[in-house]
Amino acid sequence: MALLDMARRKNMYVETAHVNYHRRDSAVRDEELVRTYCRKYRIPFHLLNSVSNNDKGNFQANARMERYRFFACLCRENHLDGVLIAHQKEDLIETYLMQKERKLGVECYGLSAENEICGVKVIRPLLNWSRKEILTYCNENEVPYGIDESNLSDSYTRNRIRHGIVERMSDTEKDGILAEIERMNVKKQEEEKAAALYLEKEDHPVEEFLSFPYVKTVIRKLFPGKSDAFVSETLRQIKESGRCLIKEEGRILIKEYGTVSFFAVPEPYNYVFASMEELKDCDYPFFRLRGSGSGRQGISLKEEDFPITIRNYRQGDAIRMRYGTKKIRRFFIDSKMPLRKRMSWPVLTDLNGNIILVPGIGCDRNHYSEKPNLFVIE
């Protein structure tokens, strides 16, 4: 309410978004308090009657996501520039202490003055204001407000930290925590910049990777939101295992052949060609079609092979050669091919789905020729 009043007094164009979770006796009172203020000053008022109280799991996390989606939707529908949030100094300190307790990787220590959530800009202009100063502002300017009685209990982690730690701090102690947060964020920005530069190269010798001073930040950038325990376990595997693979949300970190590599999981592909006329010289994301090339890239296609398909390798793929069946995985191992290349390696199949060409291995026994009419170059 203080933030809304400040914005109104500065003649800013604002609209209000109120979420009623219907979880406490004063919820309707607060809705009417905001609605009445907005009606008095002709400020557009938007209400969301929440269903998060029916969600399973972490109510606070569900409720937060629901309201920010609501805010983002209003911004898009009403062509608004962003969202003003009234987090203040103690909120910042509480968030920082929660982050330290949970030991999770974070984008910012405490709360950032400006960031993006659900695709819209979020601005927190009151982070330098204390809770006491905001209450004084409301009382001196006759701004109506309500007290959320759920904040008085220790049911939630934030409330426990608020009542057990932050409210017992002196102003000097709070200033000390704020200075610590600022130092941590400056250091984090330096580490983030160095890690981003390091990540521009996807392959690194193992010893170089482990000795990189910000290696933990690199892992956190690869796998955002993971705990300190996850980062430590990842480093342990890289140090102690001959080969290890960590895959999370479409990202892969792998140690193999003396190298640590990181990359996004490549999208599977499947190109279908109905005739030789369609197999003209052309470049695709993971292979090229040509009229000439090396012997193990070529095949003599016949009319009865069509339609043919060029797709990426799948686990279990094998090709029947003149000297017997060869598993493609064996070829990868023998040639010490990195996983990134394996996952996108092209294979060519006939109309029945039989693999008839694997670049690097060659064609199957029924398509061998000294004069191939197609070369698939990986």
CA angle 226, 231, 235 (to 5 degrees): 155
Mean pLDDT value across the chain: 93
Give the pLDDT confidence of 60-81 residue by residue, as tens digits: 888 899 999 999 999 999 999 9
Give the pLDDT confidence of 122-167 residue by residue, as tens digits: 999 999 999 999 999 999 999 999 988 776 676 678 888 988 999 9
Query: Any idea how long the chain is?
Result: 378
With residues binned 3-state (H G I as helix, E B as strand, rest as coil), the percentages for the chain, rounded to 5, are: 45, 20, 35
Confidence check: pLDDT of 274 > 80:
yes
Token pair belonging to 236? 């342990």
Q: Are 331 and 360 in contact (CB under 8 A)?
A: yes
pLDDT for 152? 67
Confidence check: pLDDT of 275 > 80:
yes
With a CB cutoff of 8 Å and minimum separation 6, the contacts of 364 are: 319, 320, 321, 354, 355, 356, 357
Give the pLDDT confidence of 229-256 residue by residue, as tens digits: 999 999 999 999 999 999 998 999 999 9
Same CATH topology for 2-168 and 197-264: the answer is no
Q: Are 269 and 312 in contact (CB under 8 A)?
A: yes
Domain assignments of the chain as residue spans, ordered by start: 2-168, 197-264, 270-377
Confidence check: pLDDT of 349 > 70:
yes
User: Which amino acid does the sequence have at 199?
Assistant: L
Residues of the chain above pLDDT 90, percent: 83
pLDDT for 96? 95
With a CB cutoff of 8 Å and minimum separation 6, the contacts of 138 are: 1, 2, 5, 144, 145
Would you place residue 117 in the very low, low, confident or very high pLDDT band (cuts 50, 70, 90)?
Answer: very high
| 13 backbone φψ class: left, alpha, beta (φ>0; ψ -120 to 50) | beta
The H or E element that residue 310 is part of is strand 308-312
Its pTM stands at: 0.68
Cα 131 from Cα 261, distance rounded (Å): 48
State how beta strands 270-273 and 308-312 pair: antiparallel
Give the pLDDT confidence of 278-315 residue by residue, as tens digits: 998 999 999 999 999 998 999 999 999 999 999 999 99
Q: Which fold has domain 2-168?
A: Rossmann fold (3.40.50)
Give the pLDDT confidence of 326-335 residue by residue, as tens digits: 999 999 999 9
Token pair belonging to 226? 């993971």
Q: Which CATH architecture has domain 197-264?
A: 2-Layer Sandwich (3.30)
pLDDT for 228? 87
Token pair belonging to 1? 């309410």
Q: Are 266 and 312 in contact (CB under 8 A)?
A: yes
Confidence check: pLDDT of 55 > 60:
no
pLDDT for 57? 66
